[in-house]
Chains A and B, each alone.
Chain A
Amino acid sequence: MFAYEFMRTAFIAAFLAAFVCGPVGWFLVLRGQSFASHALSHVGFAGAGAALLWGQPALLGFGLSAVVSGMGMGMASDRVIGRDVMIGLVLSLAMGIGALCLHFLTRSAGAATALLFGDILGIAPSSLYWLGALAIGCVTCLGVMSRPLLFASLQPDVAEAKGLNLRLLDVLFLALVGIATAMCSQITGVLLVFTLMVAPAAASLRLGFGPMPGMVVSSTLALCEAWGGLCLSWFSDCPASFWIALLGSVVFAAANVVAHLRGR
């Protein structure tokens, strides 16, 4: 399996994505913003389609559009809450724009499949430098802001009273979610970002770990799912995204059983 460069590249890319998805997903679930990753992946799809159309890397278009949208979501958070019809329309429009961009590409079918369902085996080795830089930058930023972000997530009223700028924290965090979503989409595709970003984090929280161990466990579970998915894909000839999604569900279900047995 490791004799092939594309497999070695896939394993490294999966490691980098899991490294980022663990802590980012942990905060997403804690803050009750799990669907933000889903929404940003839809918007990122449009950005990726546009980037491909203009001859640019899909990761660049995806990342830029997801980060900008995340920041916009953070700035408009008060006005977005409860407007599910508007949100649904915006997401549908983003998917539609993505489909339009891909329509004008000659290799549209392959590109669309790769974007929507992931193509981890197709990641170019040169992309690892970008993914590595993004992973280190994203986790470093999150580490620096994790104390105030945790405080603001758990007790927003008190955090505000203590002088924290809740909106700024929201904007910065959702920008990081945009980056993590772009990285994750390289592995699982747009439609399955939820599995790698949210399922391990939700399982970690369900098991009752505190903040620091919880983020480490979340990353470890994400890594196990991603690498496990790759291995199963190799031996079964089924897509890695399918196995990652399945493993995510199994891990979350198992965490619930364990939590139930422990009386949590």
Chain B
Amino acid sequence: MSIPAIEAGRLSVSYGGRRVLDQVSFAIPPGSFVAVLGGNGAGKTSLFRAILGLATPEQGYVRVEGQSFGKGRMPVGYMPQMRRMVAGQLSGWHMVAAALHGRTWGLPWCSASARAEVNAALDAVDAQELAMRPVMSLSGGERQRLLLAQALLDQPRILLLDEPLASLDPARMRETTRRIYDLAHARGLTVLFSTHDINPLMGFMDHVLYLAHGKALLGSVDEVMTTPALSALYGAPVEVVRVDGRLFVVADGGADTLHCCDCAEHTR
């Protein structure tokens, strides 16, 4: 049996005094494409921070490829949410290049090999042209492509993508997901892809990691997105409803929609 790409054992993590992950255990097979689902505050970003070594577990462990790497040493490419990106007036190329040699001391001067590596990452996401423009002139989707290029530097074996579809329109969501899937498939990468909306990922993902009330459930779409499975996860009766190909997760009595997912058939 192969070593899991990411493994958590009885992992507990708190954020702002609240326990967002409570004794969570799962093992993600290498090379799989995993949608990390959950509402606001469900612990998606906290899980990523724990994997990256930025949040210290109160309990339990999280391992990457069977090891506990030091902070910043693991073979993981990380694409954060865009909220703290401040490279307004510099070009996208410089923003990506800054990530390449940002861990070493010295002047921000790029050698020929460093330039080639940055260009290769930009080529991989088809962003050479837009990388020449100032970041502040780019749309949300274009910035996401630059962040993805940055995450591909240093040849990672695992990608952690935090809300890469945020602020994109539905057509762009599907296009971005396909781009990421193709890249991951070609390079044999393991991908954790956090999102509120499962729709653009249908047909691409191998597994769903659903987070709710501090708990986690990992499995295929058919295993996880069911009334019994999610009721057990939430610890309260919820109902999974399909309406015109769309999937809704509804609280007991139908008063609140906990989560909605469009389950229309898609092909890769």
Seen from chain A, the residues whose Cβ lies within 8 Å of a Cβ on chain B are 30-32, 143-148, 150-164, 205-206, 208, 210-212, 264
Bound-state CA distance A154–B81 (Å) is: 13
Contacting residues, chain A, for B94 (C-beta < 8 A) = 154, 210-211
Please, how many angstroms separate the alpha-carbon atoms of A163 and B104 in the complex?
Answer: 11
Main secondary structure of the interface of A (DSSP, over half): helix
Q: By the criterion of a CB under 8 Å from any partner CB, how many residues of chain B are at the interface? A: 35
A158:B150 contact, CB within 8 angstroms: yes
A-B contact pairs, 13 of them (CB 8 A): A143-B107, A148-B105, A154-B95, A159-B99, A159-B102, A160-B54, A163-B70, A163-B73, A206-B89, A208-B91, A208-B134, A210-B91, A264-B137
CB distance from B252 to the nearest CB of A (A): 37
B3: interface (CB < 8 Å): no
Give 18 A-B pairs besides A159-B102, A163-B70 with Cβ atoms closer than 8 angstroms.
A30-B89, A30-B90, A143-B107, A144-B106, A146-B107, A148-B103, A148-B104, A150-B108, A151-B99, A154-B90, A157-B78, A158-B78, A161-B78, A163-B71, A163-B103, A206-B89, A210-B90, A264-B134
Q: Cα distance A152–B98 when bound, in Å?
A: 9
Residues of B contacting A152 in the complex (Cβ-Cβ under 8 angstroms): 102
Of the candidates B76, B85, B108, which one forms a contact with A147 in the assembled complex, judged by CB atoms under 8 Å apart?
B108
Q: A162 touching B87 by the CB < 8 A rule?
A: no
Q: How far is the CB of B61 from chain A (nearest CB, A)?
A: 19
Residues of B within 8 A of A154 (CB): 85-87, 90, 94-95, 98-99
Contact present for B105 and A145 (CB under 8 Å): yes
Enumerate chain B interface residues (CB-CB to A < 8 A): 52, 54, 70-73, 76, 78, 80-81, 84-87, 89-91, 94-95, 98-99, 101-109, 134, 137, 147, 150-151
Question: What's the Cα separation between A30 and B85 when bound, in Å?
Answer: 11
| A147-B107, A150-B102, A160-B54 known; A155 vs B91 contact (CB < 8 Å) | no
B residues within 8 A CB of A160?
54
Q: Which residues of B contact A143 (CB under 8 A)?
A: 106-107
A-B pairs, top 5 by smallest CB distance, nearest first, are A163-B72, A151-B102, A157-B80, A154-B87, A211-B108
What is the chain A residue whose CB lies nearest that of B73? A163
A261 vs chain B, min Cβ distance (A) = 15
Closest to A156 in B: B84
A147–B84 CB distance below 8 A: no
- In the bound complex, CA of A31 to CA of B151 (Å): 22
Interface majority SS on B: helix, strand, loop or mixed? loop
CB-CB < 8 A to B78: which residues of A?
157-158, 161
A154 to B108 alpha-carbon distance, docked (Å): 13
Residue of chain A at shortest CB distance from B136: A264
B109 to chain A, nearest CB (A): 6
| 8 Å CB contact of B108 from A157, A162, A212, A264 | A212
Chain B contacts for A32, CB-based, 8 A:
86
Residues of A close to B91: CB separation below 8 A: 208, 210
Specify which chain B residues have a CB less than 8 angstroms from the CB of A163 in the assembled complex: 70-73, 103
On whether the beta carbons of B99 and A155 are closer than 8 Å, the reply is yes
Q: How far is the CB of A152 from chain B (nearest CB, A)?
A: 7
Determine the distance from Cα of A143 to Cα of B108 in the docked complex, in whole angstroms: 8
Q: Which residues of A contact B103 (CB under 8 A)?
A: 147-148, 151, 162-164
Closest to A204 in B: B89
Contacts of B95 in A (CB 8 A): 154-155
Chain A contacts for B70, CB-based, 8 A: 163
Tell me the minimal C-beta distance from B264 to chain A in angstroms.
33
Chain B minimum-CB-distance residue to A159:
B102
Min CB–CB distance B75 → chain A (angstroms):
12
Complex contact A212–B109 (CB within 8 A): yes
A147 to B90 alpha-carbon distance, docked (Å): 15
- Do B105 and A147 touch (CB < 8 A)? yes
> In the assembly, what is the distance between CA of A108 and CA of B198, in Å?
70
> How far in angstroms is the closest Cβ of chain B from A77?
13
Given A154-B85, A154-B95; A162-B106 close (CB under 8 Å): no
A151 to B108, CA, bound (A): 9
Q: Within the complex, what minimum Cβ distance (angstroms) separates A231 from chain B?
A: 30
In whole Å, how far is B94's beta carbon from the nearest beta carbon of chain A? 5
Q: Report whether B107 and A162 are in contact in the complex, using a CB–CB cutoff of 8 Å.
A: no
CB neighbours (8 Å) of A210 from chain B are 90-91, 94
Within the complex, the shortest CB–CB distance from A254 to chain B, in Å, comes to 16
Q: A148 to B71, alpha carbons, bound, how many Å? A: 15
* Closest Cβ–Cβ distance, residue B130 to chain A (whole Å): 14
Closest Cβ–Cβ distance, residue A16 to chain B (whole Å): 20
Q: Shortest distance in angstroms between A149's beta carbon and chain B's nearest beta carbon?
A: 9
Complex Cα distance, B86 from A155, in Å, reads 7
CA separation between A18 and B90, bound complex, in Å? 22
A224 to nearest B CB, angstroms?
A: 21
